[in-house]
């Protein structure tokens, strides 16, 4: 890997961290906690389509760890890791196996991110009652995923190839 590709990936991690911080500054959009726009997924989707699976996954994980160590704690990092990994796996299936468009890939990521976080929450509180919260999070994941997918599609078409 040459210095240009290392710099590109590092800038993508930095951009994802910046978007994560920016999103944390936005007041909750609704009375339901946990609903977010998923701005960092812009970077993950661009990386997935422009750099490939391995780089997108690494950018996602490095961002989650750095944001967790910088702005969060063990619990926030565990929720973010669970959401990020489950989300990425869902996007990967939608992208590679089902071969759906980027908006569908993004919506899948939004939905699956919530699944990962609910699984961690159920483990932490030792209760399956958290599942009742999932439909509300899925609705927000679908809407946010659609918006992020449309923006990502626009970016991917306009960015040069960066492999």
Position 163 in a domain: no
Position 142 in a domain: yes
Number of domains in the chain: 1
Q: Which domain holds residue 10?
A: 3-158
Q: Which residue has the higher pLDDT, 130 or 112?
A: 112
Q: What is the pLDDT of residues 6-65, one digit of tens each?
A: 999 999 999 999 999 998 888 776 666 667 889 999 999 999 999 999 999 999 999 999
Query: pLDDT at position 32, please?
Result: 65
What angle is formed at CA 133 by the lines to CA 127 and CA 136, rounded to 5 degrees?
Answer: 165
Crossing angle of helices 102-125 and 74-92, in 10° steps, is 140
Contact 83, 41 (CB under 8 A): no
The CATH number of residue 89's host domain is 1.10.1760.20
Q: What is the pLDDT of residues 90-105, one digit of tens each?
A: 999 999 999 999 999 9
Position 100 in a domain: yes
Position 61 in a domain: yes
Query: pLDDT at position 1, please?
Result: 78
Q: Which helix (H) or strand (E) holds 136?
A: helix 134-158
pTM here is 0.91
d(CA 51, CA 75): 30
């Amino acid at each position: 890997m040459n210095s240009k590709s290392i710099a590109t990936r590092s800038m993508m991690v930095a951009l994802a961290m910046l978007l994560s911080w920016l999103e944390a500054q936005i007041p909750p959009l609704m009375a339901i906690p946990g609903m977010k726009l998923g701005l960092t997924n812009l970077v993950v989707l661009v990386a997935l389509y422009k750099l490939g699976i391995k780089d997108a996954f690494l950018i996602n994980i490095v961002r989650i760890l750095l944001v967790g160590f910088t702005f969060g704690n063990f619990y926030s990092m565990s929720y973010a890791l669970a959401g990020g990994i489950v989300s990425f796996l869902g996007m990967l299936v939608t992208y590679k196996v089902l071969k759906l468009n980027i908006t569908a890939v993004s919506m899948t990521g939004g939905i699956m991110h919530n699944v990962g976080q609910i699984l961690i929450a159920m483990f932490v509180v030792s209760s399956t009652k958290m599942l009742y919260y999932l439909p509300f999070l899925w609705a927000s994941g679908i809407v946010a995923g659609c918006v992020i997918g449309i923006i990502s599609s626009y970016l991917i078409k306009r960015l040069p190839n960066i492999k």
